[in-house]
A = this chain, B = another copy of it.
Amino acid sequence: MKLGRLNHIGVATPSIADSIAHYRDVMGASDITEPFDLPEQGVKVCFVNTPTHSGMDGTQIELIEPYDESSPINGFLAKNPAGGQHHVCFEVPDIEAARAWFEGQGKRILGPTRIGAHGTPIFFVHPKDMMGQLTEIMETPKEGH
């Protein structure tokens, strides 16, 4: 296992619209994607693109709002009604090799490998096994992100 790119940090919010306004009007973000639904994961999602020295390919802020009452982020928002940092996501070249690695380390993986917000396979590792950080592992998109 070799540490991959920090693709995004996931930020839960009770309102994607309010969070978009916050990042646009207060933080000055100029590149925010249109929100879309990920019903299988129980969330609505959009991305705030952040600048690097060479472009807008920095670590993204993934804004996530509950899709319905069964959303897995409802518990987080019950504890953090204003929203807040929910997870971190690192890229790997091969999702199956990464899954085998974390399983071999005795880390609890939350559910099956599935398709994530970038259209590539992902899985989540339990925060209690990851120094308190809910950690998403995603396969690097073949072209950009």
Contact = CB atoms under 8 A, between A and B. Distances in A.
Contact of A22 (B11, B54, B61, B131): B131
Nearest first, the 5 A-B pairs at minimum CB distance are: A84-B132, A82-B132, A1-B28, A83-B132, A85-B85
A95 interface: no
Interface of A: 1-6, 9, 11-13, 18-19, 22-23, 26-30, 48, 50-54, 57-59, 61, 80, 82-86, 88, 90, 102, 105, 107, 127-128, 130-133
A26 B135 CA distance: 12
Contacts of A23: 3
Interface of A is mostly: loop
A92 to B, nearest CB: 9
Given A53-B5, A128-B82, A90 B27 contact: yes
A37 to B, nearest CB: 20
Contacts of A2: 28, 30
A129 to B, nearest CB: 9
Given A9-B88, A85-B133, 16 more contacts: A1-B26, A2-B28, A3-B27, A5-B58, A9-B9, A9-B85, A19-B131, A59-B59, A80-B132, A82-B127, A83-B131, A84-B133, A85-B85, A85-B86, A85-B88, A85-B132
